[in-house]
Structure 1
Amino acid sequence: MRPVYITGTGAFLPGEPITNDAMETYIGELGDEHRRLGRATLRRNGIRQRHYTRTADGQITHSNAQLAANAVREALTQGRCRDDRLDFLATGTTQGDLLVPGFASAVQAELGIANLEIASFQSVCASSLMALKMAQFSVQSGQSEAAVASGSESACRWFQPDFYAESYRDNPDPGVEFLRWTLSDGAGAVLIEPEPAASGRSLRIDWIEQRSFADRFPACMYAGMADNRHDTEVWSHYRSPGEAHQAGALTLKQDLKLLYQIFPVWVGYYLEVLDKHGIEPGDIDAFLPHYSARSLGREMERLLEATGAMIPTERWFNNLETRGNTGSASVFVMLDDWLRSTDPQPGQTVLCFVPESGRALAAFMHLTVV
């Protein structure tokens, strides 16, 4: 199998940064109790600004596919890769712009690049690493010479007041408000090739590991059913989309109590991955963990300290405060920011960690600077 290198990264965050005080101008107002929960969420998540694909007057600036395409173009430009060299595109997202067809088709159409093999991955935060692993296999096996993987989210569309059932105004849910005041929009992408770039730094992909725990937990972050205790009552089983909407089956939800129950399982898997690859926490030069809130990052630190597997905090890199939680895009946006803001040296190692609350899975990626 051939080695695989990340030779270009790209990120695209739409519009100007939006501060906490301006958020409701963009996502709309639901009432005082919703605002109170939102302010509590902002204190927990530590986000100071984020980006949306919606203007203050309600106009949509970009589709999800356009976000991904812009990030892909940036990765190709940074990697000095001509469009006609690209032969594989894999995309990850929580929800594409359409229900059908697959999201990668829409991104290819936006790029206008012909003769591409494509693959669409729909999950939550880890879908981008699912896409990258598929692209990695394609390059390793010799089926592809230049592949790109993207992660992108257009989350703000879920949070407009009219997207919620009428009864929701009088019955706010902390988990729903957590998502409403945390998720944001953006895209990231990486270009991979079988040789490092001719100039500058490249990142060799040593391995990507991912495991699902859906056999142990119900859905934690979900849309398409009214609650996670009745996962057979899905949106398409209602008599109409309108009835599903009024039942709350189309609302994006988060089970916060369940989220904290999943955390120790993610950390247990982290320990397994380190043992499998013979890695000591002190061996990692840069740790890029995704987490949706500062409070969850602290919980991650607490558990790693308790297990004796803590990577020194001065080696952690995270951009949640300034980029917001961009879901599947987060790991690629974080990697792009890390490369631009530091001076990585050959031989340094990078560990990316993406826990996904969707239905409890976690993904890791180990890189070496060359």
Structure 2
Amino acid sequence: MRIPDIATAARVLALGHYQPANVVSNDDLTKTMDTNDEWIQSRVGIKERRIAPPEESVEDMAAIAGGKALASSGLTPDDVDLVIVATCTLETQIPNAAAVVAHRLGIDSPGAFDVNAACAGFCYALATANAAVRSGGARNVLVIGAEKLSQWIDWTDRSTAVIFADGAGAAVVGPSETPGIGPVVWGSSGDKSDAIRIKDRDDYLRQEGQTVFRWATTALHPVALEACERAGVDPSELSAFVPHQANLRIIEAIARKLGADKAVIARDIVHAGNTSAASIPLALSRMLERGEVRSGGLALMLGFGAGLTYAGQVIEIP
């Protein structure tokens, strides 16, 4: 048996993102439900969100974000041999999104699979990509979080319609001489699985907001701290804290308990809404684009959501 060459470390080489053009403001939502801008902002912190048109699919958005990340990395499609798409909102389960996206991007015969850990999905996929590169299972990996939550929402239900949105974010992971992705801290709370659910293919996404809020604001900051500890990083050394963009109140509560006083806190939810598995790469890519963070700094990512699942890791910003 021959042991393949194994990379000692991996890192995120580049990021990319995509959002649909259609902006839906809080005032727009008042036309279909009993709500208003003040009520929405006070509870979830959202001012507007992006919603894809019916003809734009999860795969469409994933391919655009993935293509941008690949172009930014300086690699070619031939350099990629594994594609992972994190999503929980495909219209159908077969075929998977990853194989479709890889084909559209001209990536020939890669390993291709989807990950469904809902809003924690991108962090799960990134940890898997890190392990694949370090073990020699892949040279370079394209990791994408993409969601079209709008097709699973009851647009008359203000408990969900004001929160969720569409978009995609992507990262290219490749070998590195020094570690650029810290150990993942992941887990689940299956006893609370009913808190966020879709009963069947004829139902909409439902969530018990208070249950999720209490869980997120009490159970997750220890996960964030452990991710820092396992990476050998003090929270004071972080350049950015990029949690899942679930709710502005949740984001700010976790950030206070984390104590990352020097870090820029991602608040992409204000203008992008909750895009589930897309939210973390989308937020960090936009922060880089706006110049809010710099290449080489350390970012703590923390995904959490339906399952209930969670995952956190520290990365070096590409």
Shorter chain as normaliser: what TM range? 0.7 to 0.9
Whole-angstrom CA distance in 1 between matches of 2:267 and 2:184: 19
Query: What residue in structure 2 maps to residue 53 of structure 1?
Result: 52
Asked if the contact 2:49–2:271 (Cα under 8 Å) also holds between the matched residues in 1, the reply is: yes
Asked if the contact 1:90–1:104 (Cα under 8 Å) also holds between the matched residues in 2, the reply is: yes
Q: Report the CA distance between 1:22 and its aligned residue.
A: 2.7
Whole-angstrom CA distance in 2 between matches of 1:151 and 1:118: 14
In the alignment, which of 363, 367, 370 is matched to residue 311 of structure 2? 363
Alignment of structure 1 residues 1-370 onto 2, 5 Å: 1-23=7-29, 29=32, 34-36=33-35, 40-54=39-53, 60-159=54-153, 177-195=158-176, 204-214=180-190, 216-224=191-199, 235=200, 245=202, 250-263=203-216, 264-301=218-255, 304=257, 309-312=258-261, 315-342=264-291, 348-356=297-305, 358-369=306-317
3-state SS, counterpart of residue 65 of structure 2: helix
Query: What residue in structure 1 maps to residue 3 of structure 2?
Result: none
Whole-angstrom CA distance in 2 between matches of 1:338 and 1:275: 24
Asked if the contact 1:90–1:119 (Cα under 8 Å) also holds between the matched residues in 2, the reply is: yes
Aligned length: 311
Query: What residue in structure 2 maps to residue 228 of structure 1?
Result: none
Whole-angstrom CA distance in 1 between matches of 2:94 and 2:313: 30
Deviations 1:102-150 (A, max 9, x none): 3323323433432111121112111111112222111111222221100
Asked if the contact 1:145–1:193 (Cα under 8 Å) also holds between the matched residues in 2, the reply is: yes
Query: What residue in structure 1 maps to residue 4 of structure 2?
Result: none
Specify whether residues 39 and 156 from structure 1 end up closer, same or farther in structure 2 by C-alpha distance, changes over 3 A only: farther
Whole-angstrom CA distance in 2 between matches of 1:266 and 1:317: 16
Amino acid at match of 1:182: I
TM-score (norm 1): 0.76
Q: Report the CA distance between 1:251 and its aligned residue.
A: 1.8
RMSD of equivalent CA atoms: 2.7
TM-score (norm 2): 0.87
3-state SS, counterpart of residue 194 of structure 2: coil
Whole-angstrom CA distance in 2 between matches of 1:369 and 1:99: 33
Asked if the contact 2:180–2:315 (Cα under 8 Å) also holds between the matched residues in 1, the reply is: yes
Q: What percentage of aligned pairs have identical amino acids?
A: 20
Whole-angstrom CA distance in 1 between matches of 2:36 and 2:86: 30
Asked if the contact 1:53–1:62 (Cα under 8 Å) also holds between the matched residues in 2, the reply is: yes
Whole-angstrom CA distance in 2 between matches of 1:359 and 1:92: 14
Deviations 1:197-231 (A, max 9, x none): xxxxx9921232211122x423221102xxxxxxx
Amino acid at match of 1:221: I
Specify whether residues 153 and 369 from structure 1 end up closer, same or farther in structure 2 by C-alpha distance, changes over 3 A only: closer
Asked if the contact 2:266–2:284 (Cα under 8 Å) also holds between the matched residues in 1, the reply is: no
Whole-angstrom CA distance in 2 between matches of 1:150 and 1:211: 21
- Larger radius of gyration between Structure 1 and Structure 2: 1
Whole-angstrom CA distance in 2 between matches of 1:346 and 1:256: 36
Whole-angstrom CA distance in 1 between matches of 2:73 and 2:232: 31
Whole-angstrom CA distance in 2 between matches of 1:271 and 1:48: 30
